[in-house]
Structure 1
């Protein structure tokens, strides 16, 4: 039995359709990340699962039971908010155990659950403090602890790390990954950060304009993007995209007269004369000499530490390459780059759909 089933869920606000038919089936223990930019509908979908918003159509089932019309407290879910939503006048101990207290759980059982959760989150020393005495990362751990202590069927996280600085975000992300591996909990997690999605998820649903562009494992979404939007959204730096036309001799880049050989695995995907977009990941590009695929006019060189990020132009289109940190390139020079055939992706120029 699926832990969570979302069946053709729609949501409208007057004439505006926010969700346009969402279908997801989530097995027990999966970590699903709803990934997309602001306004794509991911938080609306999470609120419908939680019971904080009503669906205009479709169904939501938790543990095989439809929860449409069921009060949030009766859905067997726990939610962690972006803003922590802690009670400022209560200690950490009471914040974690407050939900159990409201459910009349016996004191001894409640105390045991709070202590076990605090130990798991490594916040035993903070139990007597108030939220105002905690750092942002500690507050988020308390909010997570309040959800964990209830042991629901599904955990819902609404951009829980967005208020943390970069170092705390990375540490808390690692902590979430560790907790999921230890507990095998079922999680639905909303974020606009593709690094969070790639590192945490067992499956990612990339959303756009109220629809799912692609649903798959992090490896599938990254290495086999279903659309041009997914290819550009997932990856940092994003995938390079060049405009071309399929010719008899290969892929002819717009305005350059340069031809890229069409790989064997893509020869049946695009007909003669078809307008396409070529996708190449920045890390797939490498320095080359002699005859090669791309000649790039270097505009920006950035050393990040582990890699050298180089940005330039191929004709009128921008190209980024991630190189070893010892590479020697300067602004203003022209550099040849090559790449393996299997690193090339093709997309239809009009629909944005991947060509296989």
Structure 2
């Protein structure tokens, strides 16, 4: 039984169609991340699931029950907002248990639920404080606790970590992962941060212009991007995309003399003359040894040491590539180097449709 089913959801504001037919079935215990840039429709979809907005078409089912027209409080969902949305005049304990108070849960049951939730989130010592006395990370834990204490069918998170600094974001990502593994809750989580998506999700829906570009497990999205958009959006640094032409002998990269071998699934004669976009992940590139034939000669422009890796930006003909190399690699700005890679690291895309040309 699906915990949440989104059926052909559309949303229109006048002449502008924000959502263009979204279909997702989410099983109990899944952690779905809606990933995309600002304006792609991910928050609109979350608000429709929550009942804060009504769709222009389609249906939302929670536990196989249609919730269209059902008030948010009756949908058996809990939502964690970007802004925490805590009551400043109430203690942490009362903030966590506020929903239970409104439902007139017996006091003993209420107190136990609040204590158990605080223990789970490791904030038992904060129960008597007010939100103004808490750090950003502590406030976020309280907001999560207010959702957890209700034990709903579906949890909704709207960019909950975006107000935290980098260190706290990493800590809270780990905490959310730990909680999900313990509780096996069903989660829909909105973010534009691909690291959050890759580390938290069981499935990622990459959204663009009101549509889903790809819906798959994180490793599938990363290793087998369905479109040029997904290839460029997921990954840091993003995938290198080069213009090329298929020939009977291999891939001719625009602006340079070198020809790369075609992936084994493609027949050079059958595909000869076709323009393609070639994708290579930066971490798939390495400096070539003298005997390696599969190589791209590039002129290094910028070298950045991040600590664990050396991020090298170089030009191949008139096109730019990025390579993530070991930190002590000897490359210098303005020097020419030959880069190589495993042939299985190549991704081919149609330049018109943007779709992957991978052969199943």
> Normalising by structure 2, what TM-score?
0.97
Structure 2 counterpart of 1:59? 59
Partner secondary structure for residue 3 of structure 1: strand
Q: 1:142 to 1:269 in 2, by over 3 A?
A: farther
Residue correspondence of structure 1 range 148-167 to structure 2 within 5 A:
148-167=148-167
Query: For structure 1, which segment, 257-266 or 42-51, has the greater mean C-alpha deviation from structure 2 after superposition?
Result: 257-266
1:317 Cα deviation from its structure 2 partner: 1.3
Q: 1:348 to 1:269 in 2, by over 3 A?
A: farther
- Count of matched residue positions in the alignment of Structure 1 and Structure 2: 356
> Normalising by structure 1, what TM-score?
0.99
1:175 aligns with 2:175: yes
Q: Is the 8 A contact 1:29 1:187 kept in 2?
A: yes
1:270 Cα deviation from its structure 2 partner: 7.2
Structure 2 counterpart of 1:20? 20
What whole-Å deviation, never above 9, does each CA across 1:256-276 have from its counterpart, x for those lacking one? 232111021233897221110
Structure 1 counterpart of 2:297? 295
What whole-Å deviation, never above 9, does each CA across 1:27-69 have from its counterpart, x for those lacking one? 0000000000000000000000000000000000000000000
Unaligned runs of 5+ in 1: none
Unaligned runs of 5+ in 2: none
Q: Distance in 2 between matches of 1:54 and 1:137?
A: 32
Structure 2 counterpart of 1:238? 238
Structure 1 counterpart of 2:350? 348
Aligned residues: CA RMSD: 1.1
1:219 aligns with 2:219: yes
Residue correspondence of structure 1 range 127-138 to structure 2 within 5 A:
127-138=127-138
Q: Distance in 1 between matches of 2:103 and 2:7?
A: 31
Q: Distance in 2 between matches of 1:195 and 1:270?
A: 39
| Aligned partner (choices 298, 301, 306) of residue 304 of structure 1 | 306
Q: Distance in 1 between matches of 2:8 and 2:349?
A: 27
Q: Is the 8 A contact 1:269 1:355 kept in 2?
A: no
1:289 Cα deviation from its structure 2 partner: 3.0
Q: 1:270 to 1:127 in 2, by over 3 A?
A: farther
Structure 2 counterpart of 1:329? 331
Q: Distance in 2 between matches of 1:61 and 1:200?
A: 24
Q: Is the 8 A contact 2:261 2:294 kept in 1?
A: no
Q: Is the 8 A contact 1:296 1:335 kept in 2?
A: yes
